[in-house]
Amino acid sequence: MIPTPYHVRSRRPDRADTVTLTLEPVEGACPSFLPGQFTMLYAPGVGEIPISISGRARSGGYVQTVRAVGAVSRALCRARRGDVVGVRGPFGTHWELAAAHGLDVVVAAGGLGLAPLRPVIRELAAHGARFGRISVIVGARTPSTLMYPRELARWGRDFDVQVTVDHPDRAWKGPTGLITKLVGRIVFEPARTYAFVCGPEVMMRATAGELVRRGVPAGRIALSLERNMKCGIGRCGHCQLGPLFTCLDGPVLTYDKVADLLEVKQL
Amino acid sequence: MEAAVLDTLDPLIGALRERGYAVVGPMVRDGVIRFAELDSAADLPVGRADEQAPGVYRLHERGELVFGFAASPDSVKRWTHPPRSTLFRMRDGVPEPAAVRAPKVALLGVRACDLAALAVQDRVFLGGRHPDEAYRERRAALFLIAVTCAVPGGTCFCASTGTGPRADSGFDLALTELTGPHRFLVEPGGERGAELLAALPSRPAGDADLETARGVGAAAEARMGRHLDLGGVRERLAEGRESPVWNEIASRCLTCANCTMVCPTCFCVTVEDGTSLDDGTAERTERWDSCFTLEFTELGGAPVRSSGAARYRQWLTHKFSTWFDQFGTCGCVGCGRCVTWCPAGIDIIEELERLR
């Protein structure tokens, strides 16, 4: 339960309320992580929250994107280069990329949900030959809240990347509306497809539901769940979803394990 | 060392104090039996009996027993998993773990249900992938003196959960209070207890003492007025998430969290972070939390379980159903505390029946 001090090596404001930090241990090396895992990030004296790891920086540090919504995330977003923050972890389950080998791949991200999927997409870009057709579909509230726009453009050269927004601005020429609409605009063979889905819970349910309707097996649809967490190690009790501790059994779980639980309101 | 008979508890208390233990036992405080440090056996609540019912707790003068009452709102949890503890302090960017407070405490008058709760806590705190070393230390510093329940409380149902009223294991010493003449049968539960017992002025227990002692637990069990049929409860709750009963219970539940505070197995915590104004030291404190608060599931500014029905469902379902999935055992030990201390008198036995 004791955080390890990390330096903020770099700080990049992404959007109006999100900041991407690169964090390196004050001493020693970053523990290895698997795509989809998270750390508990501690703003000294303010508090600690779970944040997914979006990648490893060239220098070896963790790349983590934080959206300022509460006291702790605001403090983390305000952190400046050279500041010390605390890190515990990495914790939790990961995206099973090997399970998608030889299959078509659908990556579906809603809003900030693109952050935990970024290491998946980078892996797909690096080892495209191990997978079938690869499609990335992304939903954002507005064009200006779309995460990682430059990387999306770059990934678009390697595979099919489609973006939809809820509220277009004048310059927007792409699709509008729910991300589920994009499922019908990409090419994949449902029975031989693996999907990685992350975003607000309502978006994940709708997307997973649409993929199942099209014939993707529920056991090949991975979601990343979000719950209140105070510890990350199954001790505080806050992140329970029915029998699951989201921090230990998740955050990444296949839809067949959670579909029933997500159906129940306020579980 | 075989069972022995003690006429008074003072030598026991004295021997424990000599060995460096603070002896903590039942005392009357503010009209309630609480657990606090004893100086001598004179501090024990002789002749006090409790009346417990849903939403009711009263003390009366009755009889001559030292342990003539049932569960106190305090349980062993208070010592193994304290209500507040500091985790670390961080100054100039360097976190320092806080020293674990694990004082040597002898708990006198622990009930079978509380020992069962301790076994549940062992699974929760030590059985997983991230064992809690502070818990291990605090637990190892305890000397446990059980007492057989002679008088079941009005909300007890340990006979149904198979966790009492007589303790079979998990203690250092077990007492059974006998009358005519007044005396205590003492049985050691292991090396440590046997060693201590050998040092006390006692006499060997006779067959009559042993037989009378067996009768105490059996009589308490026979007089336990409450029964919970656990058959199918786990499945009933897992399948009953959409039951209208939850809304009906929520119309009475005040979501006050009393049940979770007095529950001997509830383990949920939250953390509080702060910074000292003197020298800028950041500090993190862990404290008991409850699934009945809105903050418990707060996510992005809104609680996941915004309704009282959802919060009550979480609590009861966790105790009797998902606890099995997580820890391979039931989360309830039948002590009845949550029923007694519910200000609305919500009775989990009745509610589990209604969910049938």
Position A228 pLDDT exceeds 90: yes
Last residue of a domain, one of B192, B223, B254: B223
Same domain as B311, residue B189: no
- Taking the Cβ of residue A218 and every Cβ of chain B, the question of whether any pair is shorter than 8 Å is answered with no
Helix A201-213 vs helix A255-263: angle between axes, to the nearest 10 degrees? 120
* Separation of alpha carbons A9 and B118, rounded Å: 46
Query: Chain-centre distance of CA A93, in angstroms?
Result: 12
Same domain as B24, residue B145: yes
CB B285 within 8 A of CB B84: yes
- Identity of the residue numbered A186: I
* Separation of alpha carbons B339 and B328, rounded Å: 24
Q: Which residues pair with A43 in a beta bridge?
A: A47
Q: pLDDT class for B279, splitting at 50, 70, 90?
A: confident
Q: Which structural domain range is residue B276 located in?
A: 233-354
Q: Output the average pLDDT for chain A.
A: 96
* Separation of alpha carbons B303 and A267, rounded Å: 11
The structural domain count of chain B equals: 2
Position A16 pLDDT exceeds 80: no
Q: Exposed, middle or buried, B42 (CB in 10 Å: 0-12/13-18/19+)?
A: exposed
CB A136 within 8 A of CB A188: no
Last residue of a domain, one of B200, B223, B246: B223
Least CB–CB distance from B267: residue in A47, A237, A267? A237
Nearest-CA residue of chain A relative to B288? A236
Q: Which residues pair with B95 in a beta bridge?
A: B90
DSSP string, B309-344: HHHHHHHHHIIIIIHHHHHSS-S--S--HHHHT-TT
Q: Which residues pair with B50 in a beta bridge?
A: B59
Provide the chain B residues 126-155 that lie in CB contact (below 8 A) with chain A: 128-130, 132
Phi, psi of B183 (to 5 degrees): -165, 170
Same domain as B326, residue B282: yes
Which tens digit of pLDDT belongs to each residue from B293-349?
999 999 988 999 999 999 999 999 999 999 999 999 999 999 999 999 999 999 999
Same domain as B212, residue B64: yes
Least CB–CB distance from B94: residue in A5, A226, A233? A5
B228 domain residue, yes or no: no
CB B180 within 8 A of CB B206: no
Q: pLDDT class for A138, splitting at 50, 70, 90?
A: very high
Residues in B closer than 8 angstroms to A238, CB to CB, are: 268, 270, 289, 296-297
Same domain as B68, residue B205: yes
* Separation of alpha carbons B53 and A211, rounded Å: 53
Same domain as B180, residue B63: yes
Chosen from B284, B295, B307, B311 to mutate, greatest number of chain A CBs within 10 A:
B284
Task: Give the per-residue pLDDT at A15.
Answer: 79
- Residue A31 neighbours by CB under 8 Å, 6+ apart: A89, A90
Same domain as B242, residue B212: no
* Separation of alpha carbons A42 and A75, rounded Å: 9
Residues in A closer than 8 angstroms to B129, CB to CB, are: 233-234, 248
- Taking the Cβ of residue A80 and every Cβ of chain B, the question of whether any pair is shorter than 8 Å is answered with no
- Sort strands B22-29 and B4-6 into parallel, antiparallel or unpaired: unpaired
Q: pLDDT class for B278, splitting at 50, 70, 90?
A: confident
Q: Output the average pLDDT for chain B.
A: 95
- Taking the Cβ of residue A264 and every Cβ of chain B, the question of whether any pair is shorter than 8 Å is answered with yes
Tokens 């999927």 -> residue: A117
Token pair of A105 as six digits: 């791949």
Token pair of A180 as six digits: 């589920």
Percentage of the residues of chain A whose pLDDT score is greater than 90 = 97
Averaged over A69-97, what is the pLDDT?
96
Position A115 pLDDT exceeds 60: yes
Task: Give the per-residue pLDDT at B225.
Answer: 86
For residue A78, CA distances in Å to A47, A67, B21 come to: 14, 11, 49
* Separation of alpha carbons B31 and B59, rounded Å: 6
Same domain as B204, residue B86: yes
Annotated binding site of A for [2Fe-2S] cluster: 231, 236, 239, 247
How close A248 gets to chain B, by Cα (Å)? Answer: 9
Which tens digit of pLDDT belongs to each residue from B130-180?
999 999 999 999 999 999 999 899 999 999 999 999 999 999 999 999 998
Token pair of A22 as six digits: 């690169």
- Sort strands B203-204 and B4-6 into parallel, antiparallel or unpaired: antiparallel
**CB pair distance less than 8 Å for A2 and B274:** no
- Taking the Cβ of residue A242 and every Cβ of chain B, the question of whether any pair is shorter than 8 Å is answered with yes
How close B88 gets to chain A, by Cα (Å)? Answer: 7
| Domain residue spans of chain A | 4-91, 97-263
- Identity of the residue numbered B271: V
- Identity of the residue numbered A174: G
Same domain as B344, residue B237: yes
Least CB–CB distance from B241: residue in A4, A44, A264? A264
Q: pLDDT class for A59, splitting at 50, 70, 90?
A: confident
Provide the chain B residues 296-355 that lie in CB contact (below 8 A) with chain A: 296-301, 304-307, 309-310, 313-314, 317-318, 321-322, 325-326
* Separation of alpha carbons A247 and A239, rounded Å: 7
ipTM of predicted complex:
0.95
B203 domain residue, yes or no: yes
- Closest by CA position to A3, among listed A71, A91, A94, A64: A91
B41 CB neighbour count, 10 Å cutoff: 18
Chosen from B88, B299, B307 to mutate, greatest number of chain A CBs within 10 A:
B299
Annotated binding site of A: 231, 236, 239, 247
The stretches of A130-197 forming alpha helices (DSSP H) are: 149-158, 180-183
Last residue of a domain, one of B185, B202, B223: B223
Q: Would you call A17 helix, strand, or coil by DSSP? A: coil
Task: Give the per-residue pLDDT at A97.
Answer: 97
Least CB–CB distance from B129: residue in A4, A45, A248? A248
Residues in B closer than 8 angstroms to A265, CB to CB, are: 310
Percentage of the residues of chain A whose pLDDT score is greater than 70 = 100
B161 domain residue, yes or no: yes
Largest CA distance in chain A: 51
Q: Which CATH code is given to the segment(s) A97-263?
A: 3.40.50.80
Same domain as B250, residue B102: no
Same domain as B129, residue B240: no
Averaged over B14-36, what is the pLDDT?
97
CB B209 within 8 A of CB B181: no
Question: Residue A132: left if φ>0, alpha if ψ -120 to 50, beta else—which one?
Answer: beta
* Separation of alpha carbons B146 and B213, rounded Å: 13
Token pair of A247 as six digits: 């921090």
Task: Give the per-residue pLDDT at B1.
Answer: 56
In this structure, chain A runs to a length of 267
Largest CA distance in chain B: 68
Same domain as B332, residue B247: yes
- Taking the Cβ of residue A233 and every Cβ of chain B, the question of whether any pair is shorter than 8 Å is answered with yes
CB A241 within 8 A of CB A201: no
Q: Would you call A24 helix, strand, or coil by DSSP? A: strand
* Separation of alpha carbons A232 and A50, rounded Å: 7
How close A156 gets to chain B, by Cα (Å)? Answer: 31
Report the alpha-carbon angle A165-A170-A172, nearest 5: 40
**CB pair distance less than 8 Å for A45 and B274:** yes
- Sort strands B32-37 and B22-29 into parallel, antiparallel or unpaired: antiparallel
How close A267 gets to chain B, by Cα (Å)? Answer: 7
B327 CB neighbour count, 10 Å cutoff: 18
Any idea which fold A4-91 has?
Answer: Elongation Factor Tu (Ef-tu); domain 3 (2.40.30)
